[in-house]
């Protein structure tokens, strides 16, 4: 897998390898996958004989096209042990531009403790970017920034932002040693369940062939104690056919008696998910390798990873990795999409996470009142507050009444888990809010404005 601007299917001098492409071998009944490495190489072990069609996914390559360098994309295996070589793919850019993007990560947010964010920046296109890039991190206003590691950013305490000027920009792919760091304190008063909001931007946009990946937004839950090896999915529970993208987060923690040396995380995707659409979103620590193999097995290798045991340093013993993947199209009503991950600490046997599950429904919200919870922080507030609604899969309405029952504010068809409520012209006093879905009240609470 290599950049081939002259389309001669020969990796000429200066033509770089293309990493992170998913290659599929399909016999019409089963799909087998591989992931091109830093040298552009891939291999697909297949356990059966017959004809297979090879294809390469350009899901993550917006700025060009992939093409097969063989006369036919079909490969035939007549007996077990047969091998086929030189099934190469070339990449031709469709625009003489660069593609700047980012890969963030962070440590768990626990009330009363410090946390770190880090950010990788890179150019994902074969066309070199030779100028200085600007990276901006807008952090949650409730966090207290206190330090960074060189290169140091410009801190705007009013805008809650950190800005770096970076040069050179790694290409192709990121360089773990060039990541940016920022350290914060999580106030002890910040409630568990509050969603920290983070925004990351990289520029310039002019000359970038894919502006869609120049901005990233993440919501991260403040946590207390949790299952040390836990899996989460968003959206959770019942989903509709329109919810085509699922985001999985795998939490893992060293609860042993000594520091780890390396950790391997494996996730076997459901048959109802498309491995060619996998995108790594964030992680707590740098991983040395990522691969897609078999019929959809994702593997992250963190080597080295020195997680202290939880008895020695509970906060530092935790880690995570997060990714997104699309569902297959036209899944029938009632389809169950289940997922579980396995974590290997050093050479020990695997530790299994819980199983998360989604069910395809017909679009009607089936929500029980007891499943809906609302967090308001800060409360009381003077200018604005954050409202997080958990347990709703779909749109909802927010209504705010004063003590006389008069409607003071109303937000219709809210489709985000968390939103900011601004005071605007509301006088100081006590207010009561309600959350409703299709006219049914599912949650209530009190807000105080000072």
390-415 tens-digit pLDDT: 878 778 999 998 877 788 898 988 88
Q: What percent of the chain has pLDDT over 70?
A: 96
What was the pLDDT predicted at 174? 80
Residues 413 and 124: their CA atoms lie apart, in Å, by: 37
Look at the alpha carbons of 174, 176, 182, 187 in this order and tell me if their dihedral is positive or negative: positive
- Region 430-442: mean pLDDT is 86
Asked whether the beta carbons of 194 and 110 are under 8 A apart, the reply is no
Per CATH, the number for 2-93 is 2.60.40
The helix/strand/coil state of 104 is strand
Q: Is the pLDDT of residue 387 over 70?
A: yes
Q: Is the pLDDT of residue 16 over 60?
A: yes
What pLDDT band is residue 71 in, cutting at 50, 70 and 90? Answer: confident
What pLDDT band is residue 51 in, cutting at 50, 70 and 90? Answer: very high
Residues 253 and 258: their CA atoms lie apart, in Å, by: 12
Give the chain's mean pLDDT: 89
What was the pLDDT predicted at 149? 94
Residues 67 and 89: their CA atoms lie apart, in Å, by: 6
What pLDDT band is residue 326 in, cutting at 50, 70 and 90? Answer: very high
What pLDDT band is residue 227 in, cutting at 50, 70 and 90? Answer: low
Question: Six-digit token pair at 292?
Answer: 């897609």
What pLDDT band is residue 44 in, cutting at 50, 70 and 90? Answer: very high
Residues 91 and 72: their CA atoms lie apart, in Å, by: 17
CATH number belonging to the domain at 230-360, selected among 1.10.3720.10, 3.40.50.720, 2.40.50.140, 2.60.40.740: 2.60.40.740
- Region 92-97: mean pLDDT is 77
Residues 442 and 394: their CA atoms lie apart, in Å, by: 13
DSSP string, 150-211: SSPPEEETTTTEEEEEE-SPPSSS--GGG-EEEEEE--TTSPTT-EEEEEEEEE--TTBS-G
Question: Six-digit token pair at 377?
Answer: 């922080």
What was the pLDDT predicted at 365? 43
- Region 277-284: mean pLDDT is 91
- Region 45-53: mean pLDDT is 92
- Region 35-48: mean pLDDT is 92
Q: Is the pLDDT of residue 14 over 50?
A: yes
Fold of 100-221: Immunoglobulin-like (2.60.40)
What was the pLDDT predicted at 244? 83
DSSP string, 239-252: E-TT--EEEEEEEE
Q: Is the pLDDT of residue 127 over 90?
A: no
- Region 252-271: mean pLDDT is 95
CATH number belonging to the domain at 369-449, selected among 2.60.40.1930, 3.20.20.70, 3.40.50.300, 3.40.50.720: 2.60.40.1930
230-360 and 100-221 share a CATH fold: yes
What was the pLDDT predicted at 128? 81
Residues 69 and 8: their CA atoms lie apart, in Å, by: 8
Q: Is the pLDDT of residue 273 over 90?
A: yes
In terms of Cα–Cα distance, which of 450, 443, 448 is closest to 431? Answer: 448
Max mean pLDDT among 92-106, 168-182, 333-347 falls in 333-347
What was the pLDDT predicted at 258? 94
Query: Which is higher by pLDDT, 86 or 126?
Result: 86
Question: Six-digit token pair at 123?
Answer: 């150019």
Q: What percent of the chain has pLDDT over 90?
A: 52
What digits encode the pLDDT tens for the residues 348-374?
A: 999 999 999 988 876 544 444 557 888
What was the pLDDT predicted at 367? 43
- Region 74-85: mean pLDDT is 91
What digits encode the pLDDT tens for the residues 150-165?
A: 999 999 999 999 999 9
- Region 425-436: mean pLDDT is 88
Domain ranges in the chain are: 2-93, 100-221, 230-360, 369-449
What was the pLDDT predicted at 235? 80
Q: Is the pLDDT of residue 253 over 80?
A: yes
What pLDDT band is residue 225 in, cutting at 50, 70 and 90? Answer: low
pTM exceeds cut of 0.85: no
Residues 336 and 353: their CA atoms lie apart, in Å, by: 18
Asked whether the beta carbons of 343 and 265 are under 8 A apart, the reply is yes
- Region 120-146: mean pLDDT is 92
What digits encode the pLDDT tens for the residues 287-322?
A: 999 999 999 999 999 999 999 999 998 878 999 999
The helix/strand/coil state of 408 is strand
């Amino acid at each position: 897998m290599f950049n081939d601007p002259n389309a001669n299917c020969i990796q000429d001098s200066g033509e770089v390898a293309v990493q992170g492409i998913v290659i599929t071998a399909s016999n019409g009944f089963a799909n087998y996958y591989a992931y091109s490495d830093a040298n552009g190489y891939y291999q697909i072990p297949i356990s059966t004989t017959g004809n297979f069609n090879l294809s390469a996914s350009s899901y993550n390559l917006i700025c060009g096209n992939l093409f097969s360098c063989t006369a036919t994309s079909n490969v035939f295996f007549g007996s077990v042990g047969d091998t086929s070589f030189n099934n190469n793919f070339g990449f031709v850019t469709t625009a003489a531009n660069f593609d700047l993007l980012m890969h963030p990560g962070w440590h768990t947010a626990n009330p009363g403790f410090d946390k770190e964010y880090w950010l990788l920046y890179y150019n994902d296109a074969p066309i070199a970017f030779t100028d200085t890039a600007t990276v901006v991190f807008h952090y949650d206003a409730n966090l207290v920034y206190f330090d960074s590691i060189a290169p140091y950013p410009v801190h705007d305490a009013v805008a809650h932002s950190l800005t770096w000027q970076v040069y050179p920009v790694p290409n192709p792919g990121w360089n773990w040693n060039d990541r940016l760091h920022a350290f914060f304190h999580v106030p002890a008063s910040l409630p568990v369940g509050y969603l920290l909001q983070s925004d990351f931007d990289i520029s310039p946009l002019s000359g970038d062939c894919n502006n869609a990946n120049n901005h990233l937004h993440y919501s991260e839950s403040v946590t207390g104690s949790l299952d040390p090896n836990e899996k989460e999915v968003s959206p959770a529970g019942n989903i509709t056919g329109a919810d085509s993208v699922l985001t999985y987060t795998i939490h893992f923690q060293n609860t042993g008696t000594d520091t780890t040396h390396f950790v391997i995380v494996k996730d076997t995707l459901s048959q109802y998910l498309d491995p060619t659409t996998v995108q790594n979103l964030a992680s707590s620590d740098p991983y040395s390798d990522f691969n897609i193999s078999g019929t959809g097995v994702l593997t992250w290798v963190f080597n080295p990873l020195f997680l202290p045991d939880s008895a020695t340093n509970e906060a530092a013993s935790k880690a995570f990795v997060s990714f997104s993947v699309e569902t297959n199209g036209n899944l029938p009503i009632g389809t169950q999409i289940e997922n579980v991950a396995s974590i290997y600490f050093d050479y020990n046997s695997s530790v299994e996470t819980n199983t998360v599950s989604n069910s395809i429904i017909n679009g009607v919200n089936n929500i029980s009142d007891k499943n809906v919870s609302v967090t308001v922080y800060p409360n009381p507030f003077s200018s604005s507050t954050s409202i997080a609604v958990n347990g709703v899969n779909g749109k909802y309405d927010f209504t705010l009444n004063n003590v006389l029952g008069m409607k003071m504010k109303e937000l219709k068809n809210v489709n985000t888990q968390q939103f900011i409520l601004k005071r605007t012209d509301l006088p100081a006093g006590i207010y009561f809010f309600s959350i409703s879905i299709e006219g049914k009240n599912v949650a209530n609470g009190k807000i105080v404005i000072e």
